[in-house]
Structure 1
Amino acid sequence: MTTFPGITHVAVTVTDLAVSVPWYTQLFAAEPVLDEDTGPFRHVVYAIDGGQLFGLHYFPDGNWSSEFDARIAGLDHVAFTCIDRAELETWQNRLDELGIKHGGIVDAHYGSGLSFKDPDGVALEFFAAPAA
């Protein structure tokens, strides 16, 4: 058996691309590489360092009656890799510059994380494994 493959992309559903696209464009410090209306949904995709893609999906007929809740079956959060805690501190400063509310860096035996949410409440995190 071969090694389990890495993740190529993640896509999250958003309620308003006019809000989410500028927010993610600032976070990633990059413009989308794709903006396409597929018919049933529109998607905007970013290329993130390392070859991964991060997509925003918008369904015009979506049910927007409730906000994201990690306690409901489905996505809990998306975590972005950081080399070490120092890089987490850099991201904490960047989130502060962007005015993005976060929970501060939390250290645990399995690593350190910096949690925050997108405009729809989707949970995101910067994460660094413990030093070897």
Structure 2
Amino acid sequence: MAEFPPMTHVAVTVSDLERSTRWYRALFGSEPVLDEDETTGGFHHTVFALANGQLFGLHAHPGGSDCAFDERRPGLDHVAFACRDRTELESWCHRLDDLDIQHGGIVDAHYGSGVQFRDPDHIALEFFAPPA
């Protein structure tokens, strides 16, 4: 069996594409590389390029649900972004503070350290560093 392939992209569904694009633009510190209205596919998406060739997409579906994100329902629990170490994790914590994004502070566990926060649709996000 071949080695399991790496993840290329994550796409989350948002309720207000314009609002979420502004929010993620500030978080990522970059402009989207794609903004496309898939009229045949029935959705509009905006895509950001992250490190190592990974992509992070925002999808808006016409007539979509107005239910708030809840990680306790089947589906996505959270998306975690990798930090090299605790120092990088601390710098991202400061970046969240600078952007006035509420977060839970750094939480340490035996398997690593993380800081959790949420996007405008309440989607759970995290910066995570391996144990020292």
**Which range, TM-score by smaller chain?**
over 0.9
1:1-132 → structure 2 map (5 Å cutoff)? 1-39=1-39, 40-64=42-66, 66-131=67-132
Alpha-carbon distance between aligned partners in 2 of 1:50 and 1:98, rounded to the nearest angstrom: 24
Deviations 1:85-130 (A, max 9, x none): 1111000000000000000000000000010000000000000011
Deviation at 1:56, TM superposition (A): 0.1
Deviation at 1:60, TM superposition (A): 1.5
Helix, strand or coil at the partner of 2:23:
helix
Alpha-carbon distance between aligned partners in 1 of 2:125 and 2:65, rounded to the nearest angstrom: 22
Helix, strand or coil at the partner of 2:52:
coil
Deviation at 1:63, TM superposition (A): 1.3
Deviations 1:2-46 (A, max 9, x none): 211110000000000121000000000000000000010000000
- How many residues align structurally? 130
Quick one: percent identity of the two aligned structures?
Answer: 64
Deviation at 1:50, TM superposition (A): 1.2
Deviation at 1:75, TM superposition (A): 0.1
**Superposition CA RMSD, Å:** 0.6
Counterpart of 2:61 in structure 1: which amino acid? F
Alpha-carbon distance between aligned partners in 2 of 1:62 and 1:17, rounded to the nearest angstrom: 12
Deviating runs (4+, > 3 A) in structure 1? none
Helix, strand or coil at the partner of 2:92:
helix
Helix, strand or coil at the partner of 1:57:
strand
Alpha-carbon distance between aligned partners in 2 of 1:6 and 1:104, rounded to the nearest angstrom: 29
Deviations 1:45-82 (A, max 9, x none): 00001110000000121011x20000000000000000
Alpha-carbon distance between aligned partners in 2 of 1:24 and 1:58, rounded to the nearest angstrom: 14
Alpha-carbon distance between aligned partners in 2 of 1:61 and 1:37, rounded to the nearest angstrom: 15
With structure 1 as the length reference, what TM-score do the two structures score? 0.97
